[in-house]
Structure 1
Amino acid sequence: MWRRGIITAALAVVLALLLSFHSDVPNRIGNLGSLLETFLPWLGLALPVLLVVALVRRSATALIAVLLPVLVWFNLFGGLLTDNEKSGGNLTVLTHNVNADNPDPTGTAKDVIAAGADLVALEELAAGQVSTYRAALAGAYPYHSVQGTVGLWSKYPIQGVHAVDIRLGWTRAMRAAVSTPQGQIAVYVAHMPSVRVKFNAGFTAGQRDSAADALGQSIAQESLTKVVLLGDLNGTMNDRSLASVTSQMRSTQGAAGNGFGFSWPADFPMARIDQIMVRDIEPMRSWTLQKTGSDHLPVVARLQI
């Protein structure tokens, strides 16, 4: 029973190493490190397979080895499996990539309003659909601004609005100061460039990484202490290439979510690429809404300022 299952044990050790040292997997070849980190939680699917093989083989060596990746995986993601939601909060925010090809923007706007958020950020606004969203959201949100393909709708006055240069040549990020009853906060709305997995090039994310660095610099220079970032970052909190942003902000899902909160693709969510992040604000709850006409799920958070 000790000599059987050596291959299974070896695979378990490799899995444990990938989970433990994912940040050391190099990005030089096809951004393999970032690709691994984007879908890192899904490595957990290999755990029951290895466990079953070890039991079938009646291998003590394999069973002990499988404990290694199990412990590492639960150390990384076990906290997301517990209910971290807290009661209270005084500001609800929502972000949604509405999809430029959305066949029902009016219906999507109604779904957004039904969530009852105080602030709504929309990304991937097609030029021909901006007027539709403006008309549909006007009754619930008297203040709004659209900058390029992103927009912010608010129940509270906004000022200091400007586009944020994320090195793309066109506008996909903005900043606004929102005057909430608890004081003024800075709100950033951003849509990072898409990433692609190509056979001959690997995980192509150069534009996204550069844009994330520029966004991180803007947030670092923000004069207001309290900051909320809403948007489609086309990357997860585990992706090292977003470190310029994630190192100075706190994920609402990690701090106050219940589960992984995957937001894309809407039909079968596999990754949390739509983010609500905060600085000097306490997350109380974080959740996703049902599918709209978009290929992303709306993401909502309740915050305490």
Structure 2
Amino acid sequence: MVRADGPAVLADGSAEEGRGRVRRWFSWRRGRVLTVLGLLLTLLLVGHAQVPNGVGNLGSLLETFLPWLGLAVPVLLGLALRRRAGIAVLAALLPAAVWLNLFGALLVDKSSGPGDFTVLTHNVAAANDDPQGTIRMLTSSGARIVALEEVSADAARTYSAGLAAAYPYHVVEGTVGLWSTYPVDEVAVVDLRMGWTRAFRARVTTPKGPVAVYVAHLPSVRVTFDTGFTAGRRDVSARLLGDAVAHEPLDKVLLLGDLNGTMNDRSLAPITSQLRSAQGAAGDGFGFSWPAAFPLARIDQILSRGLTPTDSRTLPADASDHRAVAADYRY
């Protein structure tokens, strides 16, 4: 009897000890702050569109850097495991699941191979001290259509001369320009209400048919402690550019440029609601383009309607503070 009862007692004791460990792991007394932080992070990811823009454009600021919120997940998870706080572990896994739902598709290579032509956009920077290096990068890119932003009058002459052999057709309006191996006509300025030209529309006739190409450089945004995220001029220009695209008569449309905003930024909805991103449809990764030394956001965009993107990529840094982005398209 003693020998029979012994194991039963041990078994009961082990079971009780196991239940005690589980209770300690999932005790609300441990990791409460981490649990609250995990839940708040989840709410920000799920409800970022509900963060108001009324004060310092906080909503747009959050959406500009939204993917980076994912970095908080391993921190919270590591701290929760160290504290042996099961509830906090679960609270850290919630934002991980939401983040994967929002951005997981960007981590998968969606390229389907070469298209009919390649396009490229690059903010070459007014302070670019090596335009010849930029020209070499552009001519070796394989792009048939190239849009440049922040092109000063002197730089326009330099780029025009350096790109002439590879791109026989070009147009410069204000501080934005278009260089093409295909004929370019029907050029019309798009008024962004900035006092000088930073956007235009042109028809580019590819071997398979015409494409309306918009080149744009929306106003810059600033982040300051006293005013927050100042993007009012950009938002107005985004609405005007969106109106121009909405009235475009051609079925095939490309928008190339520095939009000073990401696809997540609600203030660019007048544009992004009509056009799809090459990076989102055919890219691999986030394709961050700014700042060039350590890219944090993709504010340089290639968007389209009526065309099929087959690949999207970010080029190596040159002397600009932006990185050029390129995409392949099937007509």
1:130, 1:90 → 2: CA distance?
28
Cα shift readout 1:38-76 (whole Å, capped 9, x = no counterpart):
000000000000000110011110111111100100000
Amino acid at match of 1:95: T
- Listed as ranges, the gaps of 5+ residues in structure 1 are none
Partner of residue 110 from structure 1, selected from 136, 155, 177: 136
User: Among 145, 159, 162, which residue is 2:171 paired with?
Assistant: 145
Question: Aligned partners of 2:117 and 2:155: how far apart in 1?
Answer: 27
Matches within 5 A, 1:185-200: 185-200=211-226
Give the distance between the partners of 1:7 and 1:200, measured in 2 at CA.
30
Q: Distance in 2 between matches of 1:293 and 1:68?
A: 41
For 2:53, the equivalent position in structure 1 comes to: 27
Distance (Å, rounded) in 2 between the aligned partners of 1:150 and 1:175: 11
2:201 alignment counterpart:
175
Aligned to 1:120: 146
CA distance in 2, matches of 1:18, 1:24: 9
The reply on whether 1:236 has 2:269 as its aligned counterpart is no
Q: CA RMSD in A?
A: 0.6
- 1:180-219 equivalences under 5 Å are 180-219=206-245
Q: TM-score, normalised by structure 1?
A: 0.99
2:15 is matched with none
1:81 matched residue in structure 2: 107
Q: Which position in structure 1 is the counterpart of 2:11?
A: none
- SS of residue matched to 2:257: strand
Are positions 1:291 and 2:317 aligned together? yes
Q: Hey, what's the Cα distance between the residues in 1 that align with 2:155 and 2:255?
A: 23
Q: Secondary structure at the match of 1:51?
A: helix
Structure with greater proportional helix content:
2
SS at match of 2:267: helix
Deviations 1:197-236 (A, max 9, x none): 0110000000000000000000000000110000000000
| TM-fit CA distance, 1:88 | 3.1
For 1:277, the equivalent position in structure 2 comes to 303
**1:8 lines up with 2:27 in the alignment:** no
Give the TM-score of the pair, scaled to structure 2: 0.91
Alignment of 1:93 onto 2:141: no
Match of 1:250 among 267, 276, 282: 276
Residue identity matched to 1:79: A
- What's the CA shift for 1:29? 0.3
Q: 1:15-38: CA deviations, max 9, x gaps?
A: 000000101000000000000000
Matching residue of 2:287: 261
Q: 1:163 aligns with which of 164, 189, 197?
A: 189
CA distance in structure 2 between the aligned counterparts of 1:180 and 1:133, rounded to whole angstroms = 22
Kindly indicate whether residue 62 of structure 2 is the aligned counterpart of residue 39 of structure 1. Answer: no
Return the index of the structure with the highest Cα Rg.
Answer: 2
Is 2:155 aligned against 1:132? Answer: no
Number of aligned pairs?
A: 305
Opposite residue 104 of structure 1, the aligned amino acid is D
Distance in 1, matches of 2:168 and 2:323, equals 24
Q: Which amino acid aligns with 2:95?
A: P
Q: Answer with 131-140 or 80-89: which moved more.
A: 80-89
CA distance in structure 1 between the partners assigned to 2:139 and 2:184 by the alignment: 19
Segments ≥4 residues shifted beyond 3 Å: none
| DSSP-derived class of the 1:237 partner | coil
Counterparts of 2:269 and 2:304, CA distance in 1? 14
